[in-house]
Structures are given as C-alpha cells and as structure tokens.
C-alpha cells in the first residue's frame, strides 16, 4: 500500500555507452543510514563517483575511484542534509548522474 505521494526526480540524461547502470539505492535517505551507490560497466576502465551540487554545476567531493570491469558498489554515508547529484564518470569522459536527497 502506497502512503503519501511518491517523489519523482527529473534530471538530464547523459549518454555513456560504457556504463550500463548507475543508481543510488535508495535515492532519498537519512545521512546516518547512507545509500548504496551501484554501477555496472561493459568494459574495463576507471570509474569516478563524485558528489555535485543539485544543479550539477559544482563538484563538491570525490567519493570513490575504482578501476574494474563489471559491477561496483560503494556505501556512502555522512553527507549534510540536502539535495545533490551523484555522478559516475567513466575514464574521465562520459558520465551518468542520479539525484539524491539526504534527510
């Protein structure tokens, strides 16, 4: 049973053929509990996970950098309350983004 209204995030989609999946699970979460940042790649390369302002213009922090092929998971906690974008950048080029809300 659904209670209340679901939150629908709208954000620009950027094409990144190497990243087949990028998600923050859940997208809205308490700072202490954190969220799981998950991604999947088709080829081996370096994926940087970074935190950006809600509008995506300002990079606030690098959360993780990994070089691998297949799936990657990173548990992120402790951000101040607010709205952000998480960006997964593949080999310093194309990227995917997901909006997150820390409560």
Q: What does the pLDDT read at residue 5?
A: 74
Mean pLDDT of 71-82: 92
Q: Is CATH 2.60.120.1060 the right assignment for the domain spanning 19-102?
A: no
Q: What does the pLDDT read at residue 80?
A: 94
Backbone angles phi, psi at 92, to 5 degrees: 60, 25
44, β-bridge pairs: none
Mean pLDDT of 9-14: 64
Distance (Å, rounded) from C-alpha 56 to C-alpha 41? 22
Q: What does the pLDDT read at residue 78?
A: 85
Q: What does the pLDDT read at residue 102?
A: 96
Q: In the chain, what are the domain boundaries?
A: 19-102
Q: Residue 1: is its pLDDT beyond 70?
A: no
Q: What does the pLDDT read at residue 9?
A: 59
Question: What pLDDT, in 10s, does the model give residues 14-52?
Answer: 778 888 889 999 999 999 999 999 999 989 999 999 999
DSSP string, 46-59: EEEEEEEETTS-SE
């Amino acid at each position: 049973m659904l209670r209340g209204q679901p939150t629908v995030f709208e954000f620009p989609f950027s094409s990144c053929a190497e990243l087949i999946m990028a998600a923050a699970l859940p997208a809205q979460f308490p700072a202490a509990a954190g969220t799981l940042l998950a991604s999947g790649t088709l080829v081996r390369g370096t994926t940087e996970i970074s935190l950006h302002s809600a509008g995506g213009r300002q990079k606030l922090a690098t959360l993780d950098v990994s070089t691998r092929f297949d799936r990657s998971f990173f548990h992120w906690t402790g951000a101040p309350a607010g709205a952000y974008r998480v960006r997964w950048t593949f080999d310093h080029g194309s990227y995917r983004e997901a909006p997150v809300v820390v409560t």
